[in-house]
């Protein structure tokens, strides 16, 4: 099995601090971590490798310091890392990012399974996996919470592709899906418990001996106008800090009134859950 | 745009990566269970096993000896992080990585390596290092546990106290006297597996601090061991110890840095949350002064530790620098834990907060790795002798 | 691609700094400087009044999208039942279509689902693209993506909205890739930029949370069509239209089982195990004011209705009513849900420290002087044992209406 895991170096958003005066994000001193879902993807790939044999390649796009994500991946057990690093890749939206990643995967040759985290904590888009799958024309399984069975392609039976059977976590249930290999799966935290890096592997991964390659736009054969900010269709127009001021409003009235008032305020608020408080439109 | 003909090499900084990994481990695995294990005075065996799987115990040994190919600097970084989470775990792991296994590594036969060293570095076997006796601590001349030659090996008789991991270790590296007439020149280290007939231990001590570590007395009554369990040449016990004395001290200093960091992190967070007279207590200058002192001492201690680990990794002798670093960082950690209890006020007096644990656990550092009375004396003597 | 700032011409007005989406400009010694966060997007060049900013970026031409018209909504259905989010999106689509002076269409795929068209029409679809095929009986990524791709390429909508459900988030990125268009996930607000009313191309402004909700970003898609966005269920409001007269366009897709590459083996109802409270979106927390286990069962009901988790103060853990893992506060867990409902909690600092980062805090307590009200968005002074049952009643009522 040739496995590829997509990993992303992200700021630890649970420790984000905002400038009390400007309300801007303070990026200085914000620690970088490997995106949590990606660790579960790595663990899944390593588990498969241990069971059926094969190689695990960790692939990341980012600035030079994103090499730390690959170092950690190799420390955990990945065989090699590839860093897609080029000024031209900067500022990419998911369309341009998925193009870049899929070109790199194509350069890797035949791949049996691509595993990535469900979503990254800095963007929460969950788009990269499906888009990479689409660039490569592969079947996909998202929200994977369990890998039930994996049948590698049998080289003696050329017409018959391998298959992976997974359980997907949907809103109110679970779907068992059989997916033709090669395929791409995106995994959620329920899937497994990621291991920590092994010290010997980690130490080696920081030396010249580590199998870490750095590829730029030319290496993967993309035009710089198709990637990064230039290749992106969507652009950030503005960012702003949501108003976190607490209005400390005490609701008054009868029991029915205060609860109705409260739900009305929640409905009108900008929470993504406001729909839970909606009744029939008046 | 050109293809990169000469491949670009980008690599991570190994010290950052080891710290990051250990920090992640401590934040996720150690801190959430620290209070429970301390309160119930039980050792987190599952974490010890997990650290063994991570290859941490071999961090300062070369790969061909079953190690992870790191060095003293990386070892000490890992200990700083572990001690930040739980001192009992940090101290036990520190011993496994260094004192319990170093004699075995240097002088053990291939058979001993196979049987004890490699399993110990993987965390499959627990090792311990036994020096102290009721009448002998820093004064090694007074060691009275006897190793007597027999036809095919040695027989050990005596006892050790303050035996860290006494009840839980699978093997002990024990300092014995082979020839009482020779004093310090008659010392030697012996590997005593705990399944040796005649080996026994007391029930664990009820401790003020590091309550999760199991410390007891251990007894040797006609414990027969084979000749090759004598680690090193006869009468060379002291030099075996001296080889790693600087490292023991800088490891202890690293544990102190970890505790210091924990006390400071908790204090800083608390200063921002707790309000008095309408504002966070961090706005008051007397609190700022406490935080400043903690921070300055932590920074100074870190520099001392970094210097010594650098010297050790470059094969330079630095016993006096290591003693100074141990003395300074431990005193600073004690002061920081003390200040933290003042910042937390009444809440430091409650077992619910970790501050009380730092305050108790720091005492362990005062005695382990050389008492400060002895250290001050040797530091002063060394300087005056030049 | 580089941006230069002519320091002599810069008067430090900060216009460029304010407009930069990436914090790529900082003011130093009273003049603007480019920081390493600059992505050379060029936003600053346009706003500088002193022409102090120059760049070598050739402005990207906006293609002609005059052929692209109409606001589309993907009407998600499973086993013949429409997902609410599709209907909610139709409500939003009407608003957007009004501003654009265009029409609203729904795309409905499945097998034997024609009966759902009426509901779509009632909720605001002017046109319904009805795609029926046995291979569309159950949702499968490639089959649905193939159909959507063909529809978009043939009919050229200007906006395509999809619910950010498990299904929608599986489908939307693939469609976006196929049709070569940008996609913005989990939007909380959608509006037409009426200022940008040049050549009749009014851009869709898509606002969404980023960095774990710490900042909001408004995103535009100027260079491709349709402008695609996913929206979480419950964010938009349904509307009902009078004088329904929807046109139904029936489409027969060409699908091959062999192209689809996946098989659904089974679907089972299975609720996730109780999640970690630090991951919860909604937390209902109880304190000293809650009477025993029965009181917490009541809170549990409220939490379940809101799809949230139950939490508590330290005292409740000490009383053995709940486990340590549910404790919020200095010596418990730190949580940051969207909504935190503090029931019978006075709000000592030890507790507040663990929940202050919540997006919205609601406090219910009998004591009007309780400090919890100082950190709450909305407070109700009253007995939890009366208020919470009322909340449960009103929520269950609403649930049954849709």
Residue B5 — very low, low, confident or very high, per pLDDT cuts 50/70/90? low
Q: Measured between alpha carbons, how far is A140 from A161 in angstroms, rounded to an integer?
A: 15
| pLDDT, tens digit, 9 for 90 and up, residues A35-80 | 999 999 999 999 999 999 999 999 999 999 999 999 999 999 999 9
Check whether A18 has a pLDDT greater than 80.
no
Q: CATH 3.40.50.620 residue ranges in chain A? A: 2-231
pLDDT at site C15: 85
Query: What is the rounded distance in angstroms from the CA atom of residue C42 to the CA atom of residue B144?
Result: 80
Residue B273 to residue C352, Cβ atoms within 8 A = yes
Q: Is the pLDDT of residue C210 over 90?
A: no
pLDDT at C213 over 80: no
Indicate if C129 and C217 belong to the same structural domain.
yes
Query: Are B71 and B145 within one domain?
Result: no
Instruction: Indicate whether B68 pLDDT > 80.
Output: yes
Render pLDDT for B176-225 as a digit per residue (tens, 0 to 9).
999 989 989 999 999 999 999 999 999 999 999 999 999 999 999 999 99
Same domain, B231 and B247: no
Q: What is the CATH number of the domain that holds B40?
A: 1.10.540.10
Position C402 in a domain: no
Cβ atoms of B223 and B157 closer than 8 Å: yes
Q: Please say if the pLDDT value at position A282 is more than 50.
A: no
Mean pLDDT of C2-29: 85
The answer to the question of residue C141 being in a domain is yes
Query: Do the domain assignments include residue C271?
Result: no
- Is C27 within a domain? yes
Same domain, C322 and C286: yes
Range of the domain at C9: 3-55
- Residue entry with tokens 């089982």: C257
Q: Does the pLDDT at position C1 exceed 70?
A: no
CATH superfamily name and code, A2-231: HUPs (3.40.50.620)
Higher pLDDT, B260 or C245: B260
Structural domain contains residue C33: yes
* Residue C66 maps to a domain: no
Q: Are B332 and B298 in contact (CB under 8 A)?
A: yes
Judge whether B7 lies within some domain.
Answer: no
Higher pLDDT, A161 or C126: C126
C287 and C165 in one domain? no
Q: Are residues C98 and C218 in the same domain?
A: yes
Probe site for chain C from B349, B352, B353 (most C CB atoms < 10 A): B352
- Other chains touching A, judged by 3 or more CB pairs under 8 Å: B, C
Closest to C7 (Cα-Cα) out of C24, C29, C36, C40: C29
Least confident of B13-17, B231-235, C21-25: C21-25
pLDDT per residue over A227-242, tens digit each? 988 889 998 888 877 7
Residue C282 has pLDDT above 70, yes or no: yes
- In the predicted structure, residue C201 carries a pLDDT above the cut 70: no
Q: What tens digit of pLDDT does each residue of C318-369 get?
A: 888 888 888 998 888 888 888 999 999 999 888 988 898 888 999 999 999 9
Indicate the average pLDDT of chain A: 89
Of the pLDDT bands very low, low, confident and very high (cuts 50, 70, 90), residue A247 is confident
What pLDDT is attached to residue A19?
64
Same domain, C281 and C379: yes
Distance CA B62, CA B70 (A): 7
For C382, which residue in chain A has the nearest alpha carbon? Answer: A255
Residues C211 and C116 in one domain: yes
Per-residue confidence band for C236, with pLDDT thresholds at 50, 70 and 90: confident
Indicate whether C228 belongs to any domain. Answer: yes
Model confidence band, residue A138 (pLDDT cutoffs 50, 70, 90): very high
B9 in a structural domain: no
Q: What is the mean pLDDT of chain C?
A: 89
Whether residue B245 is found in the same domain as residue B380: yes
Contacts of B18 in chain A (CB under 8 A): 199, 202-203
How many domains, chain B? 3
Same domain? For B229 and B281 the reply is: no
Residue B170 sits in which domain range? Answer: 127-235
Mutate to test the interface with A, among C17, C148, C214 (most CBs of A within 10 A): C214
CATH number at residue B249: 1.20.140.10
pLDDT classification of C276: cutoffs 50, 70, 90: confident
Nearest CA in chain A to C233: A275
As a three-state string, the secondary structure of chain B is CCCCCCCCCCCCCHHHHHHHHHHHHHHHHHHHHHHHHHHCCCCCHHHHHHHHHCCHHHCCCCHHHCCCCCCHHHHHHHHHHHHHHCHHHHHHHHHHHCHHHHHHHHHCCHHHHHHHHHHHHHCCCCEEEECCECCECCCHHHCCCEEEECCCEEEEEEEEEEEECCCCCCEEEEEEECCHHHHHHHEEEEEEECCCCCEEECCCCCCCCCCCCCEEEEEEEEEEEEHHHEECCCCCHHHHHHHHHHHHHHHHHHHHHHHHHHHHHHHHHHHHHCEECCEEHHHCHHHHHHHHHHHHHHHHHHHHHHHHHHHHHCCCCCHHHHHHHHHHHHHHHHHHHHHHHHHHHHHHHCCCCCHHHHHHHHHHHHHCCCCHHHHHHHHHHHHHCC
| Count of structural domains within chain C | 3
What band does C401 get if pLDDT is binned at 50, 70 and 90? very low
* Min Cα separation B72/chain A (Å): 13
Mean pLDDT computed over every residue of chain B:
94
Comparison of pLDDT for C214 and C382, the residue scoring more: C382
If pLDDT is split at 50, 70 and 90, which confidence band does B89 have? very high
Total-model pTM: 0.89
Question: Quick one: pLDDT at residue C400?
Answer: 40
Count of beta carbons in the 10 Å neighbourhood of residue C398? 16
Is the Cβ–Cβ distance between B180 and B124 less than 8 Å? no
The arithmetic mean of pLDDT across residues C23-52, rounded, is: 83
Instruction: Find the CB nearest C390 among A172, A259, A279.
Output: A259
pLDDT at site A278: 62
Residue B359 has pLDDT above 90, yes or no: yes
Mark whether B221 and B270 lie in a shared domain. no
Last-in-domain residue among B189, B212, B235: B235
pLDDT exceeds 80 at position B4: no
Residue in C with minimal Cα distance to A11: C211
Does the beta-carbon distance from A75 to B21 stay under 8 Å? yes
Does residue C140 belong to the interface with chain B, where contact is any CB pair within 8 Å?
A: no
Look at the block and give the residue holding tokens 């600059």: C38
What pLDDT is stored for residue B369 in this prediction?
Answer: 79
Taking only the tens place, the pLDDT of each residue in A116-130 is: 999 998 888 999 999
Decide if C265 is inside a domain.
no
User: Is the Cβ of C333 closer than 8 Å to some Cβ of chain A?
Assistant: no
Q: Which of C201, C225, C258 is the last residue before a domain boundary?
A: C258
Indicate the pLDDT class of residue C402, thresholds 50, 70 and 90.
very low
DSSP bridge pairs for C219: A236, C206
Is pLDDT above 90 for B71? yes
ipTM for this model: 0.93
Per residue in A147-173, pLDDT tens? 999 988 887 877 788 999 999 999 878
User: Cα–Cα distances in Å, from C29 out to A19, B89, C12?
Assistant: 20, 51, 9
Q: Are C160 and C286 part of one and the same domain?
A: no
pLDDT in tens, B94-115: 999 999 999 999 999 999 999 9
């Amino acid at each position: 099995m040739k496995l590829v895991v997509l990993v992303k170096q992200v700021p630890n958003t649970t420790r984000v601090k905002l400038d009390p005066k400007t309300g801007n994000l303070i990026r200085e001193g914000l620690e970088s971590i490997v995106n949590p879902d990606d660790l579960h993807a790595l663990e899944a790939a390593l588990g498969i490798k241990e069971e059926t044999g094969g190689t695990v390649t960790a692939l990341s796009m980012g600035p030079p310091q994103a090499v730390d994500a690959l170092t950690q991946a190799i420390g955990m057990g990945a065989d090699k890392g590839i860093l897609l690093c080029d000024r031209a890749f900067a500022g990419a939206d998911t369309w341009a990012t998925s193009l870049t990643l899929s070109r790199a995967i194509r350069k890797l040759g035949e791949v049996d399974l691509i595993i990535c985290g469900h979503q990254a904590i800095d963007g929460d888009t969950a788009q990269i996996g499906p888009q990479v799958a689409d660039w490569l024309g592969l079947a996909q399984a998202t929200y994977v919470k369990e890998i039930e069975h994996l049948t590698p392609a049998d080289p003696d039976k050329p017409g018959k592709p391998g298959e992976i059977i997974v359980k997907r976590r949907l809103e109110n249930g679970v779907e068992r899906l059989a997916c033709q290999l090669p395929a791409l799966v995106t995994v959620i935290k329920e899937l497994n418990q990621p291991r920590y890096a092994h010290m010997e592997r980690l130490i080696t991964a920081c030396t010249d001996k580590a199998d870490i390659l750095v590829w730029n736009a030319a290496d993967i054969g993309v035009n710089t106008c198709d990637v990064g900010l230039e290749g992106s269709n969507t652009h950030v127009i503005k960012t702003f800090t949501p108003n976190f001021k607490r209005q400390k409003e005490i609701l008054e009235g009868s029991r029915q009134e205060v609860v109705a008032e409260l739900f009305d305020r929640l409905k009108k608020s900008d929470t993504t859950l406001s729909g839970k408080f909606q009744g029939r439109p008046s | 745009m050109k293809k990169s003909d000469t491949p670009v090499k980008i690599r991570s900084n190994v010290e950052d990566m080891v710290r990051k990994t250990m920090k992640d481990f401590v934040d996720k695995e150690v801190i959430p269970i620290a209070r429970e294990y301390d309160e119930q005075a039980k050792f987190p065996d599952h974490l010890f096993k997990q650290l063994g799987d991570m290859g941490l115990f071999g961090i300062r040994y070369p790969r061909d000896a079953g190690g992870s190919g790191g060095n003293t600097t990386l070892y000490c970084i890992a200990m700083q992080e572990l001690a930040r989470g739980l001192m009992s775990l940090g101290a036990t792991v520190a011993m496994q990585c260094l004192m319990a296994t170093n004699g075995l590594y240097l002088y053990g036969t291939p058979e001993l390596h196979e049987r004890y060293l490699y399993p110990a570095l993987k965390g499959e076997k627990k090792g311990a290092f036994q020096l102290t006796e009721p009448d002998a601590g820093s004064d090694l001349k007074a060691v009275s546990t006897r190793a007597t030659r027999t036809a095919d090996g040695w027989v050990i008789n005596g006892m050790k106290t303050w035996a860290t991991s006494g009840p839980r270790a699978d093997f002990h590296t024990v300092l014995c006297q082979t020839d009482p007439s020779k004093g310090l020149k008659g010392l030697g280290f012996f590997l005593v597996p705990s399944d040796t007939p005649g080996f026994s231990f007391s029930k664990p001590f009820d401790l003020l601090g590091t309550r999760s570590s199991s410390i007891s007395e251990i007894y040797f009554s006609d414990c027969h061991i084979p000749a090759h369990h004598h680690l090193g040449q006869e009468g060379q016990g002291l030099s075996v110890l001296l080889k790693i004395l600087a490292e023991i001290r800088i490891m202890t200093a690293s544990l102190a840095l970890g505790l210091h960091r924990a006390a400071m992190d908790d204090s800083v967070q608390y200063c921002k949350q707790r309000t008095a007279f309408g504002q966070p207590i961090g706005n008051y200058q007397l609190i700022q002064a406490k935080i400043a002192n903690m921070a300055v001492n932590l920074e100074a201690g870190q520099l001392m530790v970094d210097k010594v680990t650098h010297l050790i990794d470059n094969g330079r002798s630095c016993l006096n620098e290591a003693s100074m670093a141990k003395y300074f960082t431990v005193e600073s950690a004690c002061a920081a834990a003390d200040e933290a209890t003042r910042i937390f006020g009444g809440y430091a007096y409650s077992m619910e907060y970790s501050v009380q644990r730092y305050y108790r656990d720091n005492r362990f550092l005062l005695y382990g790795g050389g008492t400060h009375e002895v250290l001050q004396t040797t530091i002063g003597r060394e300087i005056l002798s030049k | 691609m580089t941006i230069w700032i002519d320091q002599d011409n810069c008067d430090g007005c900060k216009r460029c700094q304010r407009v930069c989406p990436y914090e790529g400009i900082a003011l130093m010694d009273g003049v603007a400087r480019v920081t390493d966060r600059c992505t050379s997007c060029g936003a600053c060049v346009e706003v500088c009044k002193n022409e102090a900013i120059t760049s070598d970026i050739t402005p990207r031409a906006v293609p002609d999208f005059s052929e692209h018209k109409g606001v589309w909504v993907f009407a998600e259905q499973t086993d013949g039942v429409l997902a609410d989010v599709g209907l909610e999106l139709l409500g939003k689509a009407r608003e957007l279509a009004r501003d654009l002076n265009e029409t609203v269409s729904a795309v409905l795929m499945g097998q034997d689902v024609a009966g759902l068209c009426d509901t779509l029409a009632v909720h605001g679809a002017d046109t319904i693209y009805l795609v029926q095929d046995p291979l569309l009986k159950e949702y499968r990524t490639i089959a649905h993506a193939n159909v959507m791709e063909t529809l978009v390429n043939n009919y050229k909508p200007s906006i395509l909205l999809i619910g950010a459900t498990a299904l929608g988030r599986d489908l939307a990125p693939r469609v976006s890739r196929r049709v070569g268009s940008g996609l913005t996930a989990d939007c909380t607000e959608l509006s037409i930029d009426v200022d940008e009313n040049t050549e009749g191309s009014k851009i869709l402004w898509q606002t969404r949370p980023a960095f774990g909700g710490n900042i909001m970003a408004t995103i535009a898609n100027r260079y491709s069509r349709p402008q695609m966005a996913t929206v979480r269920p419950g964010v938009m409001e349904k509307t009902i239209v009078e004088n329904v007269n929807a046109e139904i366009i029936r489409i027969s897709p060409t699908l091959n089982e062999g192209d689809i590459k996946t098989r659904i083996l089974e679907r089972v109802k299975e609720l996730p195990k109780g999640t970690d409270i630090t991951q919860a979106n909604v937390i209902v927390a109880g304190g000293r004011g809650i009477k025993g286990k029965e009181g917490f069962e009541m809170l549990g009901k409220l939490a379940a209705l809101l799809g949230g988790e139950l939490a508590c103060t330290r005292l409740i853990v000490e009383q053995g009513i709940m486990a340590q893992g549910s404790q919020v506060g200095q010596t418990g867990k730190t949580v940051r849900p969207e909504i935190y409902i503090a029931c019978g909690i006075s709000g000592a600092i030890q507790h507040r420290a663990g929940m202050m980062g919540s997006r919205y805090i609601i406090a219910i307590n009998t004591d009007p002087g309780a400090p919890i009200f100082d950190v709450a968005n909305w407070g109700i002074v009253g007995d939890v044992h009366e208020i919470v049952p009322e909340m449960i009643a009103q929520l269950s009522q609403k649930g049954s209406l849709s």
